[in-house]
Structure 1
């Protein structure tokens, strides 16, 4: 399957929010109602206006198959290197298991290298064991204990 990659546009938002809501965890925390909740457009505009953020879509023949957000973070650690944070990873449920995720991550890793990042990192909810196995297969390691606090 041949994938192309592009930056998300505002007209993609309803479809993207639908993908984010299309699992057990996402259905509890996202609002896929139509018309689209305006908070998503506000967030999209903030992402789009920040040079250190990229909302990447994977497509095949014009059909959005997957998405992720890349955030580039300057740091004093690792000798003042940059790192790339991966968030909001989704493959459309109809296209899971077809290799789209691997190709999307190849693109993400190449993008981080082109930006000069020394590290690419992500978190995954412990309730997503399939996703964790997928990331481990790609070479990610659970080297740190992640913590979050909802505000």
Structure 2
């Protein structure tokens, strides 16, 4: 015999709308730049009000077949992005590398696995493009991002250098 108040089954939270991955369009640029600017480092680097600069950059990316600027979309709205660059080379026996850059997830979509899905898409696309290596860089201050990439199988194998021009 049960004592106390009978429990009412709780209804599960509604499942989020499915995510679709697609090539970015010029109409996506403001949303993508907003995501790029939505963290402490991005806020220092990006100027979302300078729309012409980003439009010109998008046009160059879109015209280059080695560039894949991708949008993760939920319910018709961009919620994530990354850029995958294919780099043909002579080293490693003439192999092509894939470089992942600009990975961002909208603040409202963080924590639900979207970042992993974006990276998994990039890895699978790199394989489809016959790349032999996928690489990325992450700012030295982004410790949580480093842990995230390591969980996905990336190794901190190189020391990177940059020079502002």
TM-score under structure 2 length normalisation: 0.88
Match of 1:136 among 134, 150, 153: 150
Contact 2:35–2:104 under 8 Å retained in 1: yes
The 5 Å alignment of 1:60-139 reads: 60-139=74-153
CA distance in 2, matches of 1:65, 1:132: 21
Any unmatched runs of 5+ in structure 1? Answer: none
| RCO comparison, higher one (Cα < 8 Å, 6+) | 1
Contact 2:30–2:51 under 8 Å retained in 1: no
2:10 is matched with none
Residue 6 (structure 1) aligned with residue 6 (structure 2)? no
Q: What secondary structure sits across from 1:25 in the alignment?
A: helix
2:37 is matched with 21
1:49 is matched with 63
CA distance in 2, matches of 1:48, 1:63: 20
CA distance in 2, matches of 1:70, 1:83: 10
Question: Radius of gyration: which is bigger?
Answer: 2
Q: Once superposed, what is the RMSD of the aligned Cα atoms?
A: 0.9
Cα deviation, residue 37, structure 1: 2.6
TM-score under structure 1 length normalisation: 0.95
Cα deviation, residue 112, structure 1: 0.2
Contact 1:73–1:85 under 8 Å retained in 2: yes
Cα deviation, residue 117, structure 1: 0.1
Aligned length: 149
